[in-house]
C-alpha cells in the first residue's frame, strides 16, 4: 500500500533546552541555497573560509581544524580513534554524562580509562587530577568536558590543561557546548585535540562537528603503531579532503548545504566578536538567574562553576516534571531540558545558547514558567 503522507511542516518552537538551540534565520537562509558540487572550486574556497573561521572560534593556528561531517558525538569519536591505541592509558575526568562517553570511547579503542570522578553538579577537582597524574606517570592523555551539558558545570579547562602539560600528557577537550558561549583558547591553553558541535552556542543546524588537532597531536597520529580502526574518521584520509589548497581527493561527499549553514553561523560569530558573544551569554544568564530565583527556583551548581549557557535548577517539591514540560511545549511552544541519569525528574536544564541567548527568550521562559507553576 502506498502511504498517504503529507509534507512535513515544523512548528515554531523556542528552543531552551540542552540543544539544538534556536537557529538564526540567516543560517536557515544560507542552508536553503542551491546545492553545488562538493569539489566545485567555489565550494573548495568555502571550505577554506570555514577552516579560517573555525580557527578564529577555537583561537588556534592549528592547520588540522575542520568540521567532521557528523554530529558532536562523531567529533568525540574522531578524536579518540585517532589518538588512542590499544593499551594506552587515558585519564578521564567525569562529572556528568559526557565524561562517561569519553570513558567508553577510550575503552572501545582498547585503551585503559583511569577515572577521576566528581559529583554531578560539581566541577572537576584539580587536586584529584594531580593525584591521579602522580599515580599514573605513564598516562598518555588527560580528557575532560569543558562545558558539561548534563549538569551545567564549567570545568576549569585552562588549569586542567596546564596541569596535564606538567605531566607531559596530551590534552583532549569536549567543547561541544562551550564553543561560542564561554571563553575558550585552544592554543593559549595548550589543548591538543578538541571537538565541538554546531547546534549549541553556534546556533547552527545539528549535524557537523568542528574539530582541531595540534601539531603535537598530529605527531602522535603519524606515529601510530596500528592503523585507525575507523575508515571514515581516519584524520589522515580526511585531511586529503579538507587539507589546504585545491588538490582535494574525494573522501566522502561533504554535507554541502550544512557547510553553507556553518559558514554563516561562524560569520555571525565573527561579526559579533568572540568576547562580545561570551559577554552576552554571561549577561543573559544573570537575568535568567534573577528571574528563576524570583519564582523560587534554586540553582544546583555553585555560582563559580555555573555555565551561563546551561542553567540547571531543582524542580520544586511536588511538581510533576513531565507534565510541566509538556505544558510548556503545548501551550508556549517552549522546550526546556529534562534531567539526565540520576538527575532525571529532579532538575530542569534551561539553555541560553547562541541566537537564543536574548532578553526576549529570558523573559519568555520566566513568564511561561511562572504561569505553569501557578
Ligand atoms: C551535545 C553534546 C555532545 C554530543 O553532541 P551530538 O551533536 O548530540 O552528537 C557531546 N558532548 C557534550 C558536552 C554535549 O553537550
Q: Give 315 Cα–ligand 1 centroid separation in angstroms.
A: 24
Beta strand 112-117 with 89-94 is: parallel
Rounded to whole angstroms, the Cα distance separating 301 from 271 reads 32
Q: Are residues 284 and 315 in the same domain?
A: yes
The residue to mutate among 20, 68, 69, 72, having the most atoms of ligand 1 within 8 angstroms of its beta carbon, is 72
**Are both 110 and 193 inside the same structural domain?**
yes
Does a structural domain hold residue 8? Answer: no
φ, ψ of residue 250 in degrees (nearest 5): -65, 125
> Which ligand 1 atom sits nearest the alpha carbon of residue 96?
13
Residue listed under C-alpha cell 540543544: 19
Q: Ligand 1: which residue has its CA nearest to atom 12?
A: 176
Does the beta carbon of 150 sit less than 6 angstroms from any atom of ligand 1?
Answer: no
- Report yes or no on 76 lying in a domain: yes
Residue 256 lies in a domain: yes
Q: Which helix (H) or strand (E) holds 94?
A: strand 89-94
Q: Using CB atoms within 10 A of its CB, is residue 19 exposed (0-12), middle (13-18) or buried (19+)?
A: buried
Give the list of residues 6+ apart from residue 196 with CB closer than 8 angstroms, or none: 58, 72, 75, 175, 176, 178, 179, 202, 209, 210, 211
Strand partners, 175: none
Please tell me whether residue 310 adopts helix, strand or coil conformation.
Answer: strand
Residue 246 main-chain phi, psi, to 5 deg: -95, -5
Rounded distance, CA 202 to CA 262, Å? 8
**What are the angstrom distances between the C-alpha of 247 and each of 53, 128, 199, 236?**
21, 47, 30, 15
The finding on whether 243 has its CB within 6 A of some atom of ligand 1 is: no
Per-residue cell: 101: 562517553
Q: How many domains does the chain have?
A: 2
Quick one: 235 and 166 in the same domain? yes
Q: What is the CATH number of the domain that holds 306?
A: 3.90.1150.10
339 contacts 181 by C-beta, under 8 angstroms: no
CATH number, domain at 254? 3.40.640.10
Probe ligand 1: pick from 155, 177, 197, 201, max atoms within 8 Å of CB? 197
In sequence order, the β-bridge partners of residue 154 are 147
Helix (H) or strand (E) run with residue 53 in it: helix 41-58
Q: Which of 251, 270, 289 is the last residue of a domain?
A: 270
pLDDT in the model for residue 244: 61
| Smallest CA separation from ligand 1 atom 5, residue | 72
- Whether 280 and 201 map to the same domain: the answer is no
Q: Which of 242, 270, 298 is the last residue of a domain?
A: 270
* Rounded Cα distance, 72 and 78, in Å: 10
Length of the chain in terms of residues written: 374
pLDDT of residue 300: 95
Within a domain: 9: no
The domain of 287 spans: 14-20+274-373
The alpha carbon of 203 and the centre of ligand 1 are apart by a number of angstroms equal to 13
Closest ligand 1 atom, residue 146 Cα: 13
187 and 40, same domain (yes or no): yes
Residue 4 falls inside a structural domain: no
Q: Cell 554563516 appears where?
A: 264
For residue 223, how far is its CA from the centre of ligand 1 (angstroms)? 29
**Which three cell numbers mark 137?**
606517570
CA of 18 to the centre of ligand 1 (A): 9
User: Is the C-beta atom of 149 inside 6 A of ligand 1?
Assistant: yes
Q: What are phi and psi of 358, to 5 degrees?
A: -135, 160
Digitized pLDDT (tens) for each residue of the chain, 374 residues in all: 999 999 999 999 999 999 999 999 999 999 999 999 999 999 999 999 999 999 999 999 999 999 999 999 999 999 999 999 999 999 999 999 999 999 999 999 999 999 999 999 999 999 999 999 999 999 999 999 999 999 999 999 999 999 999 999 999 999 999 999 999 999 999 999 999 999 999 999 999 999 999 999 999 999 999 999 999 999 988 887 887 655 778 899 999 999 999 999 999 999 999 999 999 999 999 999 999 999 999 999 999 999 999 999 999 999 999 999 999 999 999 999 999 988 999 999 999 999 999 999 999 999 999 999 98
* Residue 189 in grid coordinates: 591553553
**Same structural domain, 71 and 126:** yes
Residues 300 and 221 in one domain: no
Q: Is residue 127 part of a domain?
A: yes
Any atom of ligand 1 within 6 Å of the Cβ of 109: no
Same domain, 207 and 334: no
Question: What are 282's three cell numbers?
Answer: 554571561
Residues 150, 224: one domain? yes
Distance 29 CA to ligand 1 centre (A): 25
From 235, 270, 305, the end of a domain falls on 270
Phi/psi of residue 209, each to 5°? -135, 100
Residue whose grid cell is 592549528: 62
Helix (H, G, I), strand (E, B), or coil: what is residue 227?
Answer: coil
For residues 253 and 308, state if they share a domain: no
Task: Identify the bridge partners of residue 338 per DSSP, sorted by sequence position.
Answer: 348
* Cα 40 to ligand 1 centroid, rounded to whole Å: 31
347-351 and 310-314 as β-strands: parallel, antiparallel, unpaired?
A: antiparallel
Same domain for 261 and 367: no
216 inside domain: yes
Q: Is 6 among the domain residues?
A: no
Judgement on whether residues 247 and 293 belong to the same structural domain of the protein: no
Assess whether the C-beta atom of 340 lies below 6 angstroms from ligand 1: no
Q: Which helix (H) or strand (E) holds 163?
A: helix 157-166
pLDDT of residue 241: 81
Q: Which residue has the cell 520566566?
A: 366
User: Which residue bears the cell 564549567?
Assistant: 154
Amino acid at each position: 500500500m502506498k502511504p498517504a503522507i503529507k509534507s512535513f511542516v515544523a512548528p515554531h518552537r523556542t528552543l531552551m533546552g540542552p540543544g539544538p538551540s534556536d537557529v538564526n534565520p540567516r543560517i536557515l537562509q544560507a542552508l536553503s541555497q542551491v546545492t553545488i558540487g562538493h569539489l566545485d572550486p567555489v565550494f573548495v574556497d568555502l571550505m577554506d573560509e570555514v577552516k579560517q573561521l573555525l580557527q578564529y572560534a577555537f583561537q588556534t593556528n592549528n592547520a588540522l581544524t575542520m568540521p567532521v561531517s557528523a554530529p558532536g558525538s562523531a567529533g568525540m569519536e574522531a578524536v579518540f580513534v585517532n589518538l588512542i591505541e590499544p593499551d594506552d592509558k587515558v585519564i578521564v575526568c567525569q562529572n556528568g554524562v559526557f565524561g562517561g562517553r569519553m570513558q567508553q570511547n577510550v575503552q572501545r579503542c582498547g585503551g585503559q580509562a583511569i577515572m577521576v570522578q566528581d559529583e554531578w553538579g560539581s566541577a572537576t577537582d584539580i587536586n584529584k587530577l594531580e593525584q591521579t597524574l602522580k599515580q599514573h606517570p605513564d598516562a598518555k592523555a588527560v580528557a575532560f568536558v569543558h562545558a558539561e551539558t548534563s549538569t551545567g558545570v564549567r570545568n576549569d579547562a585552562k588549569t586542567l590543561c596546564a596541569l596535564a602539560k606538567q605531566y607531559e600528557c596530551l590534552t583532549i577537550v569536549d567543547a561541544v557546548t562551550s564553543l561560542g558561549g564561554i571563553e575558550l583558547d585552544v592554543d593559549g591553553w595548550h589543548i591538543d585535540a578538541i571537538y565541538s558541535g554546531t547546534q549549541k552556542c553556534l546556533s547552527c543546524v545539528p549535524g557537523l562537528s568542528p574539530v582541531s588537532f595540534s601539531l603535537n597531536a598530529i605527531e602522535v597520529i603519524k606515529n601510530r603503531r596500528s592503523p585507525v580502526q575507523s575508515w571514515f574518521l581516519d584524520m589522515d584520509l580526511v585531511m586529503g579532503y579538507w587539507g589546504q589548497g585545491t588538490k582535494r581527493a574525494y573522501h566522502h561527499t561533504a554535507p554541502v548545504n550544512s557547510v553553507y549553514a556553518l559558514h554563516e553561523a561562524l560569520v555571525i560569530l565573527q561579526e559579533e566578536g568572540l568576547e562580545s558573544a561570551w559577554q552576552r551569554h554571561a549577561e543573559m544568564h544573570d537575568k535568567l538567574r534573577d528571574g528563576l530565583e524570583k519564582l523560587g527556583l534554586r540553582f544546583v551548581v555553585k555560582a563559580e562553576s555555573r555555565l551561563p549557557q546551561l542553567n540547571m535548577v531543582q524542580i520544586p517539591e511536588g511538581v510533576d516534571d513531565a507534565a510541566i514540560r509538556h505544558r510548556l511545549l503545548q501551550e508556549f511552544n517552549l522546550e526546556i531540558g529534562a534531567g539526565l541519569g540520576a538527575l532525571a525528574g529532579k532538575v530542569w536544564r534551561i539553555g541560553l545558547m547562541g541566537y537564543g541567548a536574548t532578553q526576549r527568550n529570558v523573559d519568555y521562559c520566566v513568564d511561561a514558567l511562572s504561569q505553569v507553576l501557578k
